[in-house]
Amino acid sequence: MSEKEIQKKIVEQSGAIAKAICRGKDVELRKSASGVSVAEVSKRVVAK
Protein backbone atom coordinates (compact mmCIF):
# COMPACT_ATOMS: atom_id res chain seq x y z
CA MET A 1 0.00 0.00 0.00
CA SER A 2 1.38 3.39 -0.96
CA GLU A 3 1.67 6.42 1.29
CA LYS A 4 -1.13 8.21 -0.59
CA GLU A 5 -3.49 5.22 -0.15
CA ILE A 6 -2.76 5.14 3.59
CA GLN A 7 -3.43 8.89 3.85
CA LYS A 8 -6.77 8.38 2.06
CA LYS A 9 -7.75 5.60 4.49
CA ILE A 10 -6.90 7.80 7.49
CA VAL A 11 -9.02 10.65 6.10
CA GLU A 12 -11.90 8.19 5.58
CA GLN A 13 -11.61 7.19 9.26
CA SER A 14 -11.39 10.79 10.51
CA GLY A 15 -14.96 10.72 11.85
CA ALA A 16 -14.23 7.74 14.10
CA ILE A 17 -10.97 9.33 15.23
CA ALA A 18 -12.71 12.61 16.12
CA LYS A 19 -15.51 10.84 18.05
CA ALA A 20 -13.02 8.87 20.16
CA ILE A 21 -10.94 11.96 20.93
CA CYS A 22 -14.07 13.93 21.91
CA ARG A 23 -14.94 11.16 24.39
CA GLY A 24 -11.49 11.62 25.95
CA LYS A 25 -10.07 8.38 24.57
CA ASP A 26 -6.62 7.91 23.12
CA VAL A 27 -6.52 6.62 19.56
CA GLU A 28 -4.11 4.20 17.94
CA LEU A 29 -3.77 3.63 14.21
CA ARG A 30 -2.92 0.08 13.23
CA LYS A 31 -1.94 -1.51 9.96
CA SER A 32 -4.58 -4.00 8.89
CA ALA A 33 -5.46 -6.09 5.86
CA SER A 34 -7.70 -3.28 4.59
CA GLY A 35 -5.00 -0.66 5.13
CA VAL A 36 -5.54 1.19 8.40
CA SER A 37 -7.75 0.52 11.40
CA VAL A 38 -8.55 2.82 14.30
CA ALA A 39 -8.46 1.50 17.86
CA GLU A 40 -9.33 3.20 21.12
CA VAL A 41 -6.55 2.70 23.62
CA SER A 42 -7.53 1.60 27.11
CA LYS A 43 -5.13 2.76 29.79
CA ARG A 44 -6.28 0.66 32.71
CA VAL A 45 -4.14 0.56 35.82
CA VAL A 46 -3.10 -3.05 36.20
CA ALA A 47 -1.32 -2.73 39.55
CA LYS A 48 -0.40 0.00 42.00
Q: What confidence score (pLDDT) does residue 32 get?
A: 86
For residue 21, the cross-strand partners are none
Q: Report the predicted TM-score, pTM, of the whole model to 2 decimal places.
A: 0.70
Find the mean pLDDT for residues 1-30. Answer: 90
Report yes or no on 47 lying in a domain. Answer: no
Report yes or no on 10 lying in a domain. Answer: yes
Report yes or no on 19 lying in a domain. Answer: yes
Report yes or no on 25 lying in a domain. Answer: yes
Find the mean pLDDT for residues 28-47. Answer: 82
pLDDT at residue 4 is higher than 80: yes
The DSSP code sequence of 7-47 is HHHHHHTHHHHHHHHHTT-EEEEEEETTEEEEEEEP-----
Q: What confidence score (pLDDT) does residue 46 get?
A: 62
Whether the Cβ atoms of residue 35 and residue 6 lie closer than 8 Å to each other: yes
Find the mean pLDDT for residues 2-20. Answer: 91
CA–CA dist 40, 42 (Å, integer): 6
**Range(s) of the domain holding residue 10:** 3-41
Report yes or no on 32 lying in a domain. Answer: yes
Report yes or no on 31 lying in a domain. Answer: yes
pLDDT at residue 47 is higher than 90: no
Q: What's the number of domains the chain is made of?
A: 1
